[in-house]
Amino acid sequence: MKLLRLKINQEEGFNSLFNGFEINFLQSENKDKATVFNPYVLAGKNGSGKSNVLEALSEIFYHLDCIYLSNKPSYFDEEDENNSNSFDSKTSRVDAYELEYLTFITEGFPQLSNKKEEIHKAHIYISKQIGERPKIKWKNKDEFGVDELLSHQIKFLLPEYVVGYASGENETLSFPFFKSRFIQYDAYYSNLITESIIDPSPESSLIYVDKSYSQFILLTNLLMQTNSELEKDVLSPFKEYVGVEAIDSFRLIIKTDIVKEYENKKFPLLKNLDFDAQSQGKNTSSYIEKLKKCATTWYEEDNYDFYENEFNNSSFLILDYKVNNDTLKAFQFHFENNPLKLFELFQLLLILEIHSVNQESKNNTYATENIFLSESINFRPIESRRVLNIKNFEIKKKGLEKNIYTKALSDGEHQFLHSLGLCLLFKDTRSLFLLDEPETHFNPSWKAKFLSSLRFCFEQEEENSNETMREMLITTHSPFLISDTDSNYVRVFNKKKKKNKKRKVICKKPNFQTLGASINDITVEIFDKDNTIGDYALGIIDNYEKRIMSGENAIKIIKEMNKEIGDSLEKTIFINKILNKFHPQK
């Protein structure tokens, strides 16, 4: 998808976005640029409102997603008058808005099958009024001969995935994503009791990748994206900047004895993922069986020692992998050379860990406005009770003779691999990426390289250049990301004080070309930081000036300052000012 504009129309606004707030993205007349990967960088001071745009979009698509899901929990039925916690298609946290975007149509419309691919750009306009169901309009559908949209067709017009990531504790952004995890769990549970075959790919489009996903993102990329036969190594930023060269070994531990009960009948939780396909006459393979076929060795154990001398009285499947080229080929074969297929299996196993949350808590989750949802519900049990654990994950790192555990990587290294890795996994999908300050823990060099690394990873082969339409919004305080972005794709946020003392969020394009602009210029223009050095150092220079003004020898003071203070624009200006005043040139 490619965003065109978003406007907030509810009287009280949404968080700091006021009634009438509007942000524009790609102009509709520039449809030819819809497949070009150019992330939007939302910049501004802390509390300027930039993250609220990401939050609004996540809430909007969560609400739309819930309306058009085909597999909904029974207690989700809004027509049940006795259920006060049911989902309401007429009410959303962003309850009045306008949203426009472009998207490719790849399925769901048989009448388009004979048309040329390059004209399959649908212009979607969504509007919602207070207390009313959102209205979805395909503005250019007459070009394709499409009549009124059916419910299942509207699902194809929504983003394939909405991928959320926050480096900090942004509870408001994660709020709708955590709700979606329950929806995916309930869809799995529904298939479990009907003994249906499960596809790990979620029907719900919202995917939030927090730190519990970090090692599985790295593992999936190193297993599925490593291919010595390809000229272009998409993992080269992993190797060049972090020094991660390859996996040496890892262990997966899957808890196999979790049983769910429904109408006095017991169902093993992993039944849908672990069955004998041949004996059932199915033309598919067990997902657990796929993991076994890729393993160096595997075994079942009734008691696994997670901690020294602390055995858990449960049953586990232990899968050990010593990784070589054959291991990589096995994973890529069994998961159809599609990294997302493997990651979605890991994702589902992680989501199944919320099986212990009771029905009342789940009901309340869907209806709650409490943004601190993750604190009130334990989404992740202790290690010995989890459905999926990864252990002994050793990697080969450049410059080190011995392998290291991934846990030994620094916060910045984890964040670089996590944020870049999730983009790699979803790069070939019609997705909306909402990244809230993904570069927080990066050193300045990595901040300068982050966008170029993203662009490198998102590059398409020439024959596929018109097949994928992706959108990415990145909030940042880093002038490096802004300097790597054309001003057409930068939005500057600040709060302007009004007469009623309320602050109004202002969003606009910068008034200068940001691409290639110096860090100092960006810091001054966008973050209102006039100085290029810290306030403490600036105070020391001010003290030197006061000493000179009180009568001390200027040349002596300058020599003293040169020993104590490093070179900077402020220091140079000060020295020139003093020399010109006390030793003017003739």
418 & 552 share domain? no
Query: Which comes out higher in pLDDT, residue 358 or 285?
Result: 358
Could you tell me if 479 and 526 are in contact, meaning their C-beta atoms sit under 8 angstroms apart?
A: yes
Give pLDDT, residue 302.
Answer: 85
Integer distance in angstroms from the first to the last C-alpha of the chain? 66
Write down which residue in 459, 481, 503 finishes a domain: 503
Could you tell me if 12 and 54 are in contact, meaning their C-beta atoms sit under 8 angstroms apart?
A: no
Q: How confident is the model at residue 379 (pLDDT cuts 50, 70, 90)?
A: low
**Would you state the structure tokens that stand for residue 310, as one six-digit string?**
């602390």
Write down which residue in 449, 482, 503 finishes a domain: 503
**Would you state the structure tokens that stand for residue 28, as one six-digit string?**
């509709």
394 & 485 share domain? yes
Lowest mean pLDDT among 39-43, 131-135, 175-179, 388-392: 175-179
462 & 361 share domain? yes
Q: Decide if 509 is inside a domain.
A: no
560 & 417 share domain? no
563 & 415 share domain? no
Residue whose C-alpha is closest to residue 435's, from 78, 166, 194, 217: 166
Distance CA 122, CA 183 (A): 28
**What are the DSSP calls for 322-379, one per residue?**
E--HHHHHHHHHHTTT-HHHHHHHHHHHHHGGGGGS-HHHHHHHHH---TTHHHHS--
The residues near 555 (Cβ < 8 Å, ≥ 6 apart) are 583
Distance CA 143, CA 225 (A): 39
**Would you state the structure tokens that stand for residue 416, as one six-digit string?**
């670089």
- Please compute the mean of the pLDDT values over residues 16-25 and round it to a whole number: 94
22 & 77 share domain? yes
520: enclosing H helix or E strand: helix 519-527
432 & 546 share domain? no
Give pLDDT, residue 225.
Answer: 92
60 & 113 share domain? yes
Give pLDDT, residue 35.
Answer: 82
484 & 389 share domain? yes
What are the pLDDT digits (tens) for 440-499?
889 999 999 999 999 988 875 444 545 678 899 999 999 999 999 999 999 999 987 665
Give pLDDT, residue 231.
Answer: 56
| Residues above pLDDT 90, as percent of the chain | 44
Q: How confident is the model at residue 228 (pLDDT cuts 50, 70, 90)?
A: low
Give pLDDT, residue 310.
Answer: 56
Distance CA 367, CA 363 (A): 7
Q: How confident is the model at residue 370 (pLDDT cuts 50, 70, 90)?
A: low
Give pLDDT, residue 351.
Answer: 92
Could you tell me if 402 and 395 are in contact, meaning their C-beta atoms sit under 8 angstroms apart?
A: no
Q: Which of the residue ranges 141-155, 204-218, 525-539 has the most confident prediction, judged by mean pLDDT?
A: 204-218
- Please compute the mean of the pLDDT values over residues 373-381 and round it to a whole number: 65
Give the gyration radius of the chain's Cα atoms. Answer: 27
Matching residue, tokens 């020692």 = 305
Tally of domains in the chain = 2
Single pTM value for the model: 0.89
67 & 166 share domain? yes
Q: Decide if 516 is inside a domain.
A: no
Q: How confident is the model at residue 191 (pLDDT cuts 50, 70, 90)?
A: confident
541 & 458 share domain? no
Give pLDDT, residue 311.
Answer: 56
436 & 540 share domain? no
> Would the pLDDT of 106 be above 90?
no
Q: Decide if 517 is inside a domain.
A: no
Give pLDDT, residue 366.
Answer: 67
Q: Decide if 510 is inside a domain.
A: no
Task: Note down the domain range covering 562.
Answer: 535-582
**Would you state the structure tokens that stand for residue 321, as one six-digit string?**
């992998």
Could you tell me if 45 and 53 are in contact, meaning their C-beta atoms sit under 8 angstroms apart?
A: no
Produce one character per residue of 243-257: b if its CB has 16 or more CB atoms within 10 Å, e if not. Answer: bbbbbbebbbbbbbe
Give pLDDT, residue 278.
Answer: 42
Q: Decide if 545 is inside a domain.
A: yes
Q: Decide if 515 is inside a domain.
A: no
Distance CA 484, CA 499 (A): 37
Could you tell me if 13 and 446 are in contact, meaning their C-beta atoms sit under 8 angstroms apart?
A: no
What are the pLDDT digits (tens) for 267-325?
889 988 875 544 444 445 689 999 999 999 999 988 777 765 555 678 899 999 999 99
Phi, psi of 60 (to 5 degrees): -60, -50
Kindly report the number of other CB atoms within 10 A of residue 76's CB atom: 20
Average pLDDT in the chain: 85
